[in-house]
Homo-oligomer: A and B are copies of this chain.
Amino acid sequence: MKLPDIEIRTGAQDVQRKLAADILFGRLRPGAKLKLAEIGPLYAIGMSPLREALAGLAGQGLVMQEGQRGFRVADVSLADLMDVIAMRTRLEVMALEASIDCGDVEWEARIIASFHKLSRHKRTQEHLIDETWEDLHRSFHLSLIGACGSPRLFTYCAGLLSQFDRYRRIAVLARAQHAILTPMDGKIVDAALERDKVTAALRLRDHIAESGQGVVEMFGERMPRCA
């Protein structure tokens, strides 16, 4: 009898996840130097697995590695943010259209389920960032494109969403003020479930443009400065 088969990870992989989360949630400042001797003890791990984790993140573009000068958190810039928004629009719309073409009832069910959970969640105003909401919101967006048929397209979209959300969180933390959310998600759901490709694409495009504009403005006003 085989045991539950819980995914076994290595220490380096654990740390890699934690570091990725810390970067994506703005807990590590963009451009910050990642001194091995400092953060090693912080994450309770030795040099070798720590470097391994950082190399992995470098491969994903979340950290930069410079010659013999160690690692830094990936930089942010207005130009890069606009690139993220532009590519996210192109690819996420493409993936939504493909999903509307190919999606089955499972796809529909997952959209409805994740949208329901997102709708029912009460955002706490206590912290600037509500991690549960972040998860639900991400899951919802990914559910929309979950039937696009291309693993790569899905992965690209997931990565772009991560990066966009990183910018949003950084902007929110920098201004110490909640983002204005445009809850037009429901309209996208309706169009998607009705298989109205044109309308759904239009609404998703608008949604990304609108939220993108909000982050661009917040980001432009004040350059990020977070712990």
A residues apposed to B, CB below 8 Å = 7-10, 12-13, 16, 47-48, 51-53, 55-60, 65, 67-68, 80, 83-84, 86-87, 90, 94, 150-153, 156, 160
Contacts and interface: CB of A to CB of B under 8 A. Distances in A.
Contacts of A47: 48
Nearest to A9: B67
7 contacts: A9-B67, A16-B55, A48-B52, A51-B52, A55-B59, A56-B56, A156-B156
Contact of A12 (B13, B55, B153, B156): B55
A67 B10 CA distance: 6
A142 B122 CA distance: 48
Given A9-B67, A10-B67, A67-B7, A87 B55 contact: no
A8 B67 contact: yes
